[in-house]
């Protein structure tokens, strides 16, 4: 595919993005299988590690699982696997806060080594990395918009 003109470049970016998303999904599935959990469960763990402890309702909202049954089942599985713990919120004892355990960090860390990404980042200048970061943040927001659109129809 020619990237000499804007239309060709945009088509190449769209194709590369779709391939990247597909590979990311496959990678997530491989990591989940290696851990003996489902992809949705791994998604819960990822969000908890990135955003920090939160209530089950907030986690369900962020992940896109239904409150109640689906999130409760996922959290039960993760708790049985020793990957999360539930604790009462000290500010409001009625609320339960979900947090990942050290076991998650110990298991997931070796499967997602930072050095692989650092080798990739070393190929770019700081200015180029700022563009990559901007694109990544904007594309993530765009994907969230698409998720919201698909979920509401």
Encode pLDDT of 100-119 as tens digits: 999 998 998 899 888 999 99
Which pLDDT does position 10 carry in this prediction?
94
Position 52 pLDDT exceeds 70: yes
Q: Going by C-beta distance under 8 Å and a sequence separation of 6 or more, which residues neighbour residue 84? A: 44, 45, 48, 75, 78, 98, 99, 100, 101, 104
CA–CA distance, 20 with 14 (Å, rounded to integer): 10
Q: What is the pTM of this model?
A: 0.83
Instruction: Identify the pLDDT of residue 113.
Output: 87
Condensed to tens digits (0 to 9), the pLDDT of residues 61-91 reads 888 876 668 888 999 999 999 999 999 988 8
CATH of 6-112, one of 1.10.167.10, 3.40.50.720, 3.50.50.60, 1.10.10.10: 1.10.10.10
Domain ranges of the chain: 6-112, 113-153
Average pLDDT, the chain: 91
């Amino acid at each position: 595919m020619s990237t000499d003109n804007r239309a060709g470049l945009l088509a190449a970016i769209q194709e590369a993005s779709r391939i990247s998303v597909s590979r990311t999904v496959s990678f997530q599935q491989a990591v989940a299988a290696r851990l003996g959990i489902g992809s949705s469960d791994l998604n819960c763990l990822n969000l908890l590690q990135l955003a920090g402890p939160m209530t089950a309702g907030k986690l369900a909202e962020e992940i896109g699982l239904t409150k109640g049954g689906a999130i409760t089942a996922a959290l039960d599985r993760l708790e049985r696997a020793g990957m999360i713990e539930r604790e009462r919120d000290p500010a409001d004892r009625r609320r339960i806060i979900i947090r990942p355990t050290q076991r998650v960090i110990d298991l997931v860390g070796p499967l997602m080594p930072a050095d692989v990404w650092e080798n990739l980042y070393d190929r770019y200048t700081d200015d180029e990395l700022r563009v990559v970061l901007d694109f990544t943040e904007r594309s993530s927001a765009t994907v969230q918009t698409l998720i919201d659109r698909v979920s509401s129809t």
